[in-house]
Amino acid sequence: MPEFDMNSVVDRTEMQLCNTTLKLTSSVFGFPDYESLVTLNDDGTILFFGGMVAKELGAWCVIEGDPNEGEDPNDLFIEFTQPLTDLYKEAFTVPGGTAFWRGRLNFRTTKAKKQKVFVEGGIVVSEREEGTSLVREGIFSAESATKKMVEDTRKKAQAAFERALSTPKAESTGFKTPARIAGAGGSRKGKALPSGRPRGTLSASQEDLDMLEDGKGKS
């Protein structure tokens, strides 16, 4: 575990968030209003699971608001990275390979006198190419999850993904549906990528689908 400076509000907040599991509600990568999970490990890494796929562990941190971006410097934001699988990089045209998630932290006290963390106004962006300008991929919010919330989210993620496999067209939100990955109508051959791109089968990327269907992340 890294050392924390107790005189720093950023460090104190990071220490408070260590080993917290967040339930994400996002509209990104073809899953509108989709629930998934992340755990903020105490070594600064983040694990995606419960419906959201990552190629490996990402990284997370807390930062102060940036006045140059119109933010209040007294506000705190959480940022984390999502290394994308090769399949996602190709299907969603993200050659930079990483999605960047960022949202404002808000701590509230529950009726049970326990403090609960929320992430509000979150956005997800990516680099079309490494080091180039950022492209907005979607939005999200989050809240700290209880054990029951984790169990429920994993079950919903599996059911939602199975339903989405039969949706052949983009949703009205403009996001790409999972059918763009898995193939319209559940077929996994020849329909994985947008038109004009090389086509093939998904046999080599079956693990991506399995992780979503099983509600598991990859570390």
Q: Please report the pLDDT score of residue 67 as a whole number.
A: 93
Residue whose token pair is 């991929």: 137
In a domain, 1, yes or no: no
Asked whether 207 and 213 are in contact (CB, 8 A), the reply is no
In a domain, 184, yes or no: yes
* Burial class of residue 96 (count of CB atoms within 10 Å of its CB; 0-12, 13-18, 19+): middle
Q: Which residues contact 196 (CB under 8 A, 6 or more apart)?
A: none
In a domain, 37, yes or no: yes
Q: Please report the pLDDT score of residue 166 as a whole number.
A: 64
**How many structural domains comprise the chain?**
1
- Stretches in the chain below the pLDDT threshold 50: 169-219
Q: Please report the pLDDT score of residue 78 as a whole number.
A: 97
In a domain, 2, yes or no: no
In a domain, 4, yes or no: no
Q: Please report the pLDDT score of residue 210 as a whole number.
A: 47
In a domain, 38, yes or no: yes
Residue whose token pair is 């490494």: 130
Give Cα 156 to chain centroid, integer Å.
16
In a domain, 134, yes or no: yes
In a domain, 175, yes or no: yes
This prediction has a pTM of 0.73
Q: Which residues constitute the domain of residue 25?
A: 9-214
Cα 199 to Cα 45, 181, 217, distances in angstroms: 34, 11, 26
Q: Please report the pLDDT score of residue 190 as a whole number.
A: 26
- CA–CA dist 53, 49 (Å, integer): 6
